[in-house]
């Protein structure tokens, strides 16, 4: 979406777009807006022409400086309750209204939002990208995307141009991740995804990368990702991208690892005909890691990141892995495969151990890992697990309260440590027929962290949404990109 910037209202033919709190006097520019509306702002609200109700968009016409103009208002409710999450919601609803009504031009009066101008600008930039997201589909009659045609001006007494451009990059990271996830699986194979990643980061400042192909993975002992990917014509890849800002010298890197199963049929432990559709989204962890690195590098944040994405397609052929097989992981630990549908933990086992070789101060992995986490926490909370104490998660949890990306910690304990070692023939097993499957899966991955502080995000429920929300349509969400980028930005992971 294009923006232009103004420092005061200019009479144009564009509709004017305002935020409307319960007490409009709380707007920084109450006088100005009231004057534009011929001193009728209070009356317009009192007569219920425009609503101040939170998240409700209403419109009216007004004679503004002798011309008839459309006024579009998003209700903000009680200004005192307008935190970042609330404001994001209101802005999302506002942009979605503009999209639905084909309003591709308009003048947003930022001072009508009764919060810090830079905070308003930041959230406008992010929500403008994500709330009206639309996948550029393969429909013959796909209309041009709203995001490509829309061009709004933002009028603000404070100069917020840089802020909008900076956080637009965060929004773009989320869009990039969603585009990866939405692309059909025949068109987003491990090879295609690896090539796209290489292309995206090719000339990025401070970014270097490496792609390991199937032959290399096998030769170098990445036995788990090799096993998962070997039955597909589309062979696996392990992609590592390193972003190292010169100001981050002397810091150990933070590793971000993503599950990139480009399609999950379940393998011989095959999924049902209702369980298989949507499994194109099983690479959303990888997509979100790419979105994070893209945002952080575009925003030029002074940090050091290793992004690792494990790309494989879980298919069936005469050479597919079977339940009972044993494979040697990159870490050297042997693994008995008891369920070929528990493939995410296998690719992550190798990828997390690979990440640990860069001596990071922290490894975080993101994976659409278990149906169990969806049963436990639903679609709106990501399950988080760590090999550190619970307090270790506090800064992260506090950040999620700002971004609205809720997380909930789930345990890993001696119970799981014992269960993952239940194989009669190998060091570890990828599955036992017992409940508690989200914790079991997390504990399996933990065995590959090599003692590095580690946080695992099970995004099986939150990686996609089944309904439109103010943050975007049904489908891939790009969950956790916002939170993790903000954590890097506020220096939480370094120093």
Q: Residue positions in the annotated binding site for Mn(2+)?
A: 259, 264, 282, 341, 343
Instruction: Say how far apart CA 41 and CA 48 lie, in whole Å.
Output: 11
Binding piece for ligand BES, criterion CB under 6 A, among 1-9, 58-66, 162-170, 339-347: 339-347
| CB nearer ligand BES, residue 20 or residue 342 | 342
Pick one of 218, 313, 341, 405: the residue that binds ligand BES (CB under 6 A).
Answer: 341
- By CB under 6 A, tell whether 410 contacts ligand BES: no
What is the helix (H) or strand (E) element at residue 70, kind and residue range? strand 67-77
Q: For ligand BES, which residue of 111, 122, 242, 282 counts as binding (CB under 6 A)?
A: 282
Q: How many residues does the chain have?
A: 495
Which residues ranging from 418 to 437 are in contact with ligand BES (CB under 6 A)?
A: 431, 437
CA distance 235 to 240: 17
Shortest distance (Å) from residue 226 CB to Mn ion: 17
The one segment of 152-160, 318-326, 370-378, 471-479 that binds ligand BES by CB under 6 A? 370-378
| Contact status: 224 vs ligand BES (CB under 6 A) | no
Q: What character string, x for contact with ligand BES (CB under 6 A) and - otherwise, covers 193-222?
A: ------------------------------
Question: Which residues are CB-neighbours of 364 under 8 A, at least 6 positions away?
Answer: 254, 255, 256, 257, 454, 455, 456, 457, 484
Binding flags for Mn ion, 252-281, as an x/- string (CB under 5 A): ------------x-----------------
Any contact of residue 458 with Mn ion (CB under 5 A)? no
Instruction: Provide DSSP, 383-443.
Output: EEEESS-GGGGHHHHHHHHHH---EEE----HHHHHHTT--SSSSEES--SSS-HHHHHHH
Helix ranges restricted to H, 312-393? 344-356, 371-377
The active-site residue out of 345, 437, 446, 486 is 345
The reply to whether 344 sits near ligand BES by the rule CB under 6 A is yes
Name the minimum Å distance from CB 175 to Zn ion: 24
**What x-and-dash track marks residues 434-473 binding ligand BES by CB under 6 A?**
---x----------------------x-------------
Contact between 77 and ligand BES (CB under 6 A)?
Answer: no
Report helix, strand and coil shares of the chain as percent, to nearest 5: 40, 20, 40
What pairing do the DSSP bridges indicate for beta strands 151-155 and 2-6?
parallel
Which partner, Mn ion, ligand BES, Zn ion, none, binds residue 460 by CB below 5 to 8 Å per kind?
A: ligand BES
Which one of 39-47, 208-216, 336-344, 447-455 is the stretch in contact with ligand BES (CB under 6 A)?
336-344
Q: What does the DSSP assignment read for 288-316?
A: HHHHHHHHHHHTT-S-EEEEEEEEEEE--
- Sites of contact with Zn ion (CB under 5 A): 261, 264, 282, 344
User: If DSSP codes are grouped into helix, strand and coil, which group holds residue 334?
Assistant: strand
- Among ligand BES, Zn ion, Mn ion, none, residue 437 binds (CB under 5-8 Å by kind): ligand BES
Q: Catalytic residue at 178?
A: no
Closer residue to ligand BES, CB minimum distance, 244 or 437: 437
343 scored as a contact of ligand BES (CB under 6 A): yes
- How many helices (H) and strands (E) the chain has is answered by 16, 19
Contacts of 182 (CB under 8 A, 6+ apart): 135, 475, 476
122 binds Mn ion (CB under 5 A): no
Q: Cα dihedral sign for 287, 220, 432, 407?
A: negative
Burial category of 316 from C-beta neighbours within 10 Å (exposed 0-12, middle 13-18, buried 19 and up) = middle
Determine which residue in the list 341, 350, 416, 489 makes contact with Mn ion, applying CB under 5 A: 341
Q: Is 271 annotated as catalytic?
A: yes
The string over 328-338, giving b where at least 16 C-beta atoms fall within 10 Å of a residue's C-beta and e elsewhere, is: bbbbebbbbbb
- Minimum CB distance to Mn ion, residue 440 (Å): 14
In the bound state with ligand BES, the residue whose beta carbon lies nearer, of 152 and 263, is 263
Catalytic residue among 6, 70, 105, 271: 271
SS3 state at 240: strand
Is 238 or 460 the residue whose CB approaches ligand BES more closely?
460
CA 492 to chain centre: 18
Question: Looking at the annotation, which residues are catalytic?
Answer: 271, 345
Positions in the binding site for ligand BES (CB under 6 A): 264, 282, 339, 341-344, 368-372, 431, 437, 460
Positions in the binding site for Mn ion (CB under 5 A): 264, 341, 343
């Amino acid at each position: 979406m294009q923006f232009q910037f103004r420092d005061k209202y200019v009479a144009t033919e564009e509709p004017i777009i305002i935020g409307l709190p319960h007490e409009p006097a709380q707007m920084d520019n109450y006088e100005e807006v009231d004057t534009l509306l011929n001193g009728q702002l209070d009356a317009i609200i009192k007569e219920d022409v425009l609503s101040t109700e939170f998240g409700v968009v209403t419109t009216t016409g007004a004679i503004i400086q002798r011309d008839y103009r459309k006024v579009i208002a998003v209700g903000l409710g009680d200004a005192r309750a307008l935190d970042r999450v609330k404001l994001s919601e209101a802005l999302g609803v506002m942009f979605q209204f503009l999209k639905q009504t084909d309003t591709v031009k308009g003048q947003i009066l930022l001072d009508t939002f009764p919060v810090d101008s830079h905070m308003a600008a930041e959230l406008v930039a992010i929500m403008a990208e994500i709330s009206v997201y639309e996948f550029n589909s393969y429909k013959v009659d796909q209309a041009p995307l709203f995001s490509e045609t829309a061009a709004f001006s933002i009028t603000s007494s404070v100069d917020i141009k840089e802020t909008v451009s900076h956080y637009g990059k965060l929004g773009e990271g989320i869009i990039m991740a969603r585009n990866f996830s939405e692309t059909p699986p025949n068109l987003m194979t491990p090879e295609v995804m690896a090539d796209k990643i290489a292309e995206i980061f090719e000339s990025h400042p401070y970014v270097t990368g490496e792609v390991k192909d199937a032959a290399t993975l096998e030769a170098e002992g990445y036995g788990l990702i090799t096993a998962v990917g070997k039955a597909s014509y589309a062979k696996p890849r392990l992609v590592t991208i390193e972003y190292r800002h010169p100001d981050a010298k002397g810091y150990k890197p933070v590793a971000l690892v993503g599950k990139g199963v480009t399609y999950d049929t379940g393998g011989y432990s095959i999924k049902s005909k209702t369980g298989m559709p949507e499994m194109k989204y099983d690479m959303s962890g990888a997509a979100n890691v790419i979105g994070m690195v893209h945002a952080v590098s575009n925003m030029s944040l002074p940090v050091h990141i290793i992004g690792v994405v494990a790309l494989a397609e879980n298919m069936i052929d005469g050479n597919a892995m079977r339940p009972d097989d044993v494979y040697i992981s990159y870490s050297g630990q042997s693994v008995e495969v008891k369920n070929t549908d528990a493939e995410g933990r296998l690719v992550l086992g190798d990828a997390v151990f690979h990440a640990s070789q860069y001596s990071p101060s922290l490894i975080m992995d993101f994976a659409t890992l278990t149906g169990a986490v969806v049963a436990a926490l639903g679609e709106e909370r990501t399950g988080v697990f760590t090999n550190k104490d619970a307090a270790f998660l506090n800064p992260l949890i506090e950040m999620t309260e700002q971004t609205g990306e809720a997380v909930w910690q789930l345990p890993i304990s001696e119970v799981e440590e014992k269960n993952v070692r239940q194989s009669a023939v190998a060091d570890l097993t990828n599955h036992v027929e017992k409940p508690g499957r989200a914790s079991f899966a997390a504990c399996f991955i933990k065995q590959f962290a090599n003692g590095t502080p580690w946080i695992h995000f099970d995004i099986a429920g939150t990686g996609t949404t089944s309904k439109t929300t103010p943050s975007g349509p049904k489908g891939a969400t790009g969950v956790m990109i916002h939170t993790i980028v903000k954590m890097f930005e506020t220096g939480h992971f370094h120093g």
